[in-house]
Structure 1
Amino acid sequence: MWVSNDVTGHATNNFWRSLEGVTITAPRTMWAVSQASPLRRSVIGGELWLSHDVGYSSGGFISDVKIGKSLVMGTQQQWFARQMTMPPGGLECWQGWNYIFMGVEGIDVEMGYKCNKGTLNKVSIMDRTARSAEKPYIVWEGSEWMIHVPKVVHQPEPGYIQDREGQIGWKLSFREVFVADPQMSTDTILQGMRYKAALLLTPGESPPAEIYALTRSLEVTKDRFVVLGIGFPTLVSPVGQSCLKVRSGLTDVRIASIIFDANTPVSHGYAEPLLQWGDATNLFVRRQLEVSGVASDIVARIGAFAYLNCELKRADHMLEFNDDSLIIDNVWVWHADHDDCSNFVMAKGADMMDHHFKSDQCQSQHGIVVNGNNIVAYGVAVEHIDGGHMLLWNGEAGQLYFFQAELPYHSDLTLQRRYAAYAVDRNIYSHFALGLGVYIIGGKPAYAAYLLSEYCDLRNVVTVAIDASDDSFHHQVCQESMEGEQTCYKPQNCSWSRCWRPWVPYVDAHALKLRGATWPLIPPTEKLPEPKILKRLRPEDRYQVSSWQYADYQLGRGKKGVTRSWIGQLPWLALVALIASFFGYFLCTGRTRQPSEADRILRGYGDALEGTEAMDDSRDFERLQMVT
């Protein structure tokens, strides 16, 4: 396997390819790639080079891989590696800005220190993974094709998966799989999904035949349904609609290896998310260890492309995750900074910086929006979104490991308007993130790279100014309290256009017993920089920090910022009292009944917090009002 630099002499345009399920015995494997090029479930017998010795590269993602000799990071600016096995001392680093090794067998702190090579806090090492599930894959078993669906594992053992059979959650015979091709109509595919347990999106016979021009949104409506692409098939959205929707409340759905392209004209009033997982207005109570699904190797794009007649497109939320307990595993959201509609010729020395592309006139608001609670993400990249926050996280108990963002360098809609590359809503009490890099190209200044609540625990935070001064970011990190007050931080150190902080000071709220959240199960962090905790809240502090505002947001999903008074609640209190007295007989006669959704909310987030102390009845009563 040999992937080389492209015609520009770099690997920064080597996108949309994957390598998985192979054993390579060659002395050297060259995998010079950038975003959307995952390497999974493979054995590399010799050396694995992630770049040539010349040219830039901007990857990447590895999971469940065994390397026989050495891993050469080369010119890679950033990289995320999970569940990998390599020989001790087999890591070679030349440069780079941000590397994460999670659950990697054969790497230790000393090797990470050598890899830093004076670039402090470049390498982040964690012995364990929070929870993960590898991508589904196709095998020939016995006398038929099967889809194997790996199970979700909480804090798995480090290293390449050796017990392959033991990691399988369930298997699907192709008799249970609807196999689609781009010549089929959308209605035919939807009909096939209705009666099967999986959808396999195959490529066509020749490019660009892998394009699925949808007339309606595809929708997943069943538990444990699998949507798997091979050859990176592209779903093109119907005008104003999503490419793919997942119904709220489902369990263990898998979506993998698909490109979503925006096809809504800029003149259209609204565009649904290209991928919408769950309904943002629906409240669903889920047990803590129950996973609603996994999104693996997902790409979302917007641009003016020749196969879409070079028309200008719009996208509001490119990817939207609303269900709780999701796993986001390698996604890239791209507002195109070059295209095939603007008389630009890719060649050695060709410079995109000063060229005007039609894609620059496309409209994008948010790249990724996370509204669900207890979501964990690995390998998230967002680039050139110009109309809002690039990543907006509104859910409690979130975790993110590895983030890469490149700000728009052709558009004037930059972070000067106080949009951030990485934004966490100011009402969030729990958020952990590791290995974050935000890059700016050219001289356009930005307000802040990161905009956070004051309860966010972030480690190894990086900003890079390419062909620009370090102060192109007015602030590296800004925190916003629930009252709207901001505290902003400059980098702790800068060197060669790279600025970093080992941690962001934060308030620890994990002692509180708050409704609507289960605190995340974060793996041990002793190999990471020690955090700076401004204050540790105590259980008795909950009345000071828990507000109507918080209750509105957690129970109403999207009503944040609304403050209610007791006077305004008096009619509701009278109604609740009347209903309670009317049904008092049924409540006191000892009859059993199934708990309602409101009951489950009052008992805690999905009945998962067994053994935790209950909040006092007055607070439960207030929340019951909100539900009713």
Structure 2
Amino acid sequence: MTVVAGASAAQAGPRQTVDPTDPDLGPNVTVFGPETPQSEIQATMDALHEQQVDAEMSTDRYAVLFEPGTYGSAADPLQFGVGYYTEVAGLGQAPDDVTIEGAIEVRNRCLADGGTSNCIALVNFWRTISNLALDVNTTGQGGCEATTNFWAVSQAVSMRRLDVRGPLSLMDYCSAGPQYASGGFIADSRFDTTLVNGSQQQWLTRNSVLGGGWSNGVWNQVFSGVTGAPSEAAFPTEPYTTLETTPVSREKPYLFVDDQGRYNVRVPAAQTETSGVSWDEGTTEGRTLSIADFYIAKPGDSVQTINNELARGKNLLLTPGVYDIDRSIDVKRADTVVLGIGHATLTAVGGAVPLTVADTSGVVVAGISIDAGSVESPALLRVGKAKGNNHKSDAANPVTLSDVYFRVGGPHIGKTDVALEVNSDDVLIDHTWVWRGDHGVEGFTEGVNGDTERWATNTGRNGVVVNGDRVTATGLFVEHFQEHNTIWNGEDGTVVLYQNELPYDPPTQEDWNQPDGTQGWAGYKVADDVERHSLFGAGVYVFNQNNPEIVTENGFTVPEAPGVRLHHIMTVNLSAGTIEHVVNGVGDAVPPSTSGAPEYVVDYPAP
């Protein structure tokens, strides 16, 4: 085992020299090579999983990287779990350069009766697996557990750039019930056997290959550019939404080690109308940057140091940890890459906007989380000037956000006006979870009083506000904000899978009503003057546990315009509160008596 040692203190000065063959990736990055004894790998991974499996609100962050080679064998498979804030990735140029024979798994957490009941995956957040081949081998596991590789997850979890050979299930069906899961995201991956969706409420699979097909669906399963995807012809009996190609895509940047042992970052190019994986006919199209072209940041580095390095032309690699950000990290130069590993987290301090991206082209921000702080921020990530109108965008080279997650509350009190604000044109959002926390360890009292305290303390008006034109989102998950969760003001927006839960905690109807008296705020709002907008596969859920008498008039609100088209949208009740209609007064109500039964609208407006 090679542990990449890290400095214990912040960088002493603004200049940094990086050895491409031995970069200092910090103390929370572990790199294994094929020469590492398997017993050592197993012991390390078991210890990390034991530490992180219940660490939902911790500040620990980790990345585990595998150099090219084969790990595990038919007789002695390598099997391990992946806990919170853990990234597992191969360092090959192609997924098959790193092969693990065994299992890489996430199981249900059993939250009651001493860990024997109420077994669910509903809060299995914040973990990543990418850029490797997995030959599923569950030898040695007993009974039900030996039937498949379990990946029972929910939001803020991505599977990217995988080649999976053998059975894989997106739920854990072996533990005590109810076994619910609420994911999730797959991109640029290939599977050779049937992929079991199981109890997953919603899921997006993008630009992948399902060699054995897809087994089932619950409410909202979306496929975009996926070979072997199920047909949507039986919708909503079979809740599939299938696009033959993805309108705009760019795969997430990834680390790899070349034949000379040098670390690099591959930055895939943007594509339009694509399907299948990016790597089956050779190297993914794009450009390669040496790790020496990056400033490698560690928690404790000052924002001034980071901004100085960005101004000198460096890209930014954020190593695992939590960064307190008291002023904006400003990304101004076209084609800059900001890549986080191990779920690196930026926390706003003093009301700062932790990250801003200028009106430019080609910037890629990937693999980071952004947390609100105790002083309200106007935004947590702002792309483009708030009131600018001179957008220097490039549709062929869009600013791209990949696996960028937002959190308001949870581990500590959080406040923001807006989480993600997109002002630039031609931006691509490829998988985000924007979460105002419905639970956490902030110290609120139990029960209804605690919910009311959360409503008054962890504040967030909107999750996502899009002002730019021609913005595309593939995998937009936004939850629990206190007005419209998403507001789309720009023209020619396209969203492929939208998932939203309305806030759990409005204390009274008056707290939840709009100023004009409208009951509640739609989970998805397209501005009244927008003329062209497309939405594919979307759901708004209600669970007003603080006050089950709360009413929301519409799940979706959009203008009546020929160019505004919604395809396969739904509302559902999770047993508290009521949504009266799906969209613009169309669709039946979902009160508590309909709990778990979706109300679908196939197309709006109807053809």
The two structures have a TM-score, normalised by structure 2, of: 0.73
Q: Distance in 1 between matches of 2:394 and 2:325?
A: 35
Number of the residue aligned with 2:265: 147
| Mapped pair 1:331 → 2:432 | yes
Q: Which runs of 4+ in 1 moved over 6 A?
A: 492-495
How far does the alpha carbon of each residue in 1:188-239 deviate from its partner, in whole angstroms, 9 at most, with x for none? 2222222233100001xxxxxx110012110101010000000011101132
Residue 353 of structure 1, CA deviation: 7.9
| Mapped pair 1:369 → 2:465 | yes
**Secondary structure of 1:51 counterpart:** coil
Residue 299 of structure 1, CA deviation: 0.8
| Mapped pair 1:272 → 2:392 | no
State whether residues 391 and 424 of structure 2, in contact with CA within 8 Å, keep that contact through their aligned partners in structure 1.
Answer: no
| Mapped pair 1:233 → 2:344 | yes
Residue 411 of structure 1, CA deviation: 1.9
Number of the residue aligned with 1:565: none
Q: Which is higher, the Rg of structure 1 or of structure 2?
A: 1
Q: Which amino acid aligns with 1:272?
A: P
State whether residues 452 and 506 of structure 2, in contact with CA within 8 Å, keep that contact through their aligned partners in structure 1.
Answer: no
| Mapped pair 1:504 → 2:600 | no
Q: Distance in 1 between matches of 2:329 and 2:392?
A: 24
| Mapped pair 1:79 → 2:203 | yes
Structure 1's 48 and 473: CA in aligned 2 closer, same or farther, altered over 3 A? same
Q: Which amino acid aligns with 1:226?
A: V
**Secondary structure of 1:18 counterpart:** strand
How far does the alpha carbon of each residue in 1:93-151 deviate from its partner, in whole angstroms, 9 at most, with x for none? 1x510001111112342xx567x6xx536101111110100000100013310010000
Q: Which amino acid aligns with 2:475?
A: G
Q: Which amino acid aligns with 1:211?
A: V
Q: Distance in 2 between matches of 1:134 and 1:445?
A: 40
Residue 172 of structure 1, CA deviation: 0.7
Number of the residue aligned with 2:133: 23
Number of the residue aligned with 1:247: 358
| Mapped pair 1:59 → 2:155 | no
Number of the residue aligned with 1:222: 333
State whether residues 582 and 589 of structure 2, in contact with CA within 8 Å, keep that contact through their aligned partners in structure 1.
Answer: no
Q: Distance in 2 between matches of 1:364 and 1:417?
A: 19
The partner residue of 1:102 within 224, 237, 247 is: 224
Number of the residue aligned with 1:459: 567
Residue 258 of structure 1, CA deviation: 0.7
State whether residues 326 and 351 of structure 2, in contact with CA within 8 Å, keep that contact through their aligned partners in structure 1.
Answer: no
Select the structure that is richer in helix.
1
Structure 1's 373 and 193: CA in aligned 2 closer, same or farther, altered over 3 A? same
Question: Superposition pairs for residues 570-585 of structure 1, below 5 Å?
Answer: none
The partner residue of 1:91 within 192, 214, 223 is: 214
Residue 405 of structure 1, CA deviation: 0.4
Q: Which amino acid aligns with 1:103?
A: G
Q: Distance in 1 between matches of 2:499 and 2:581?
A: 18
Q: Which amino acid aligns with 2:397?
A: V
State whether residues 338 and 357 of structure 1, in contact with CA within 8 Å, keep that contact through their aligned partners in structure 2.
Answer: no
Question: Superposition pairs for residues 158-307 of structure 1, below 5 Å?
Answer: 158-159=276-277, 161-165=279-283, 167-203=284-320, 210-248=321-359, 250-265=360-375, 271-284=377-390, 289-303=395-409, 305=411
Q: Which stretch shifts more, 372-381 or 447-456?
A: 447-456
Q: Distance in 1 between matches of 2:397 and 2:506?
A: 39
State whether residues 271 and 396 of structure 2, in contact with CA within 8 Å, keep that contact through their aligned partners in structure 1.
Answer: no
How far does the alpha carbon of each residue in 1:247-285 deviate from its partner, in whole angstroms, 9 at most, with x for none? 11x11100001110111425xxxx221000001311125
Residue 50 of structure 1, CA deviation: 0.3
Structure 1's 265 and 157: CA in aligned 2 closer, same or farther, altered over 3 A? closer
Structure 1's 107 and 290: CA in aligned 2 closer, same or farther, altered over 3 A? closer
Structure 1's 160 and 133: CA in aligned 2 closer, same or farther, altered over 3 A? closer
Structure 1's 175 and 393: CA in aligned 2 closer, same or farther, altered over 3 A? same
Q: Distance in 1 between matches of 2:476 and 2:404?
A: 10
Question: Superposition pairs for residues 30-69 of structure 1, below 5 Å?
Answer: 30-53=150-173, 54=177, 55-69=179-193
Q: Tell me how large the CA RMSD over aligned residues is.
A: 2.3
Residue 468 of structure 1, CA deviation: 4.3
Q: Distance in 1 between matches of 2:448 and 2:277?
A: 41
Could you tell me which runs of 5 or more consecutive residues in structure 2 were left unpaired when the two chains were aligned: 1-103, 112-118, 138-147
Number of the residue aligned with 2:71: none
Q: Distance in 2 between matches of 1:190 and 1:48?
A: 43
| Mapped pair 1:438 → 2:438 | no
The partner residue of 1:317 within 406, 412, 418 is: 418
Q: Distance in 2 between matches of 1:354 and 1:380?
A: 31
Q: Distance in 1 between matches of 2:305 and 2:297?
A: 9
What number of residue pairs does the alignment pair up? 465
**Secondary structure of 2:188 counterpart:** strand
State whether residues 492 and 501 of structure 1, in contact with CA within 8 Å, keep that contact through their aligned partners in structure 2.
Answer: no
| Identical pairs, percent | 30
State whether residues 342 and 358 of structure 1, in contact with CA within 8 Å, keep that contact through their aligned partners in structure 2.
Answer: no
State whether residues 342 and 357 of structure 1, in contact with CA within 8 Å, keep that contact through their aligned partners in structure 2.
Answer: no
How far does the alpha carbon of each residue in 1:15-69 deviate from its partner, in whole angstroms, 9 at most, with x for none? 1111111111114321100000010001111112100124110000100111121
Residue 475 of structure 1, CA deviation: 2.3
Number of the residue aligned with 1:385: 481
Q: Distance in 2 between matches of 1:121 and 1:462?
A: 13
Q: Distance in 2 between matches of 1:31 and 1:142?
A: 32
Number of the residue aligned with 2:110: 7
State whether residues 150 and 169 of structure 1, in contact with CA within 8 Å, keep that contact through their aligned partners in structure 2.
Answer: yes
Q: Distance in 1 between matches of 2:310 and 2:128?
A: 26
Question: Superposition pairs for residues 602-617 of structure 1, below 5 Å?
Answer: none
The two structures have a TM-score, normalised by structure 1, of: 0.70
Q: Distance in 2 between matches of 1:398 and 1:142?
A: 42
Residue 490 of structure 1, CA deviation: 2.4
State whether residues 4 and 30 of structure 1, in contact with CA within 8 Å, keep that contact through their aligned partners in structure 2.
Answer: yes
Q: Distance in 1 between matches of 2:199 and 2:186?
A: 16
Q: Which amino acid aligns with 2:337?
A: V
How far does the alpha carbon of each residue in 1:473-515 deviate from its partner, in whole angstroms, 9 at most, with x for none? 122212xxxxxxxxx222499895210100111xxxxxxxxxx
Q: Which amino acid aligns with 2:256?
A: V
The partner residue of 1:429 within 531, 551, 567 is: 531
Q: Distance in 1 between matches of 2:497 and 2:259?
A: 39
Question: Superposition pairs for residues 474-489 of structure 1, below 5 Å?
Answer: 474-478=580-584, 488-489=585-586
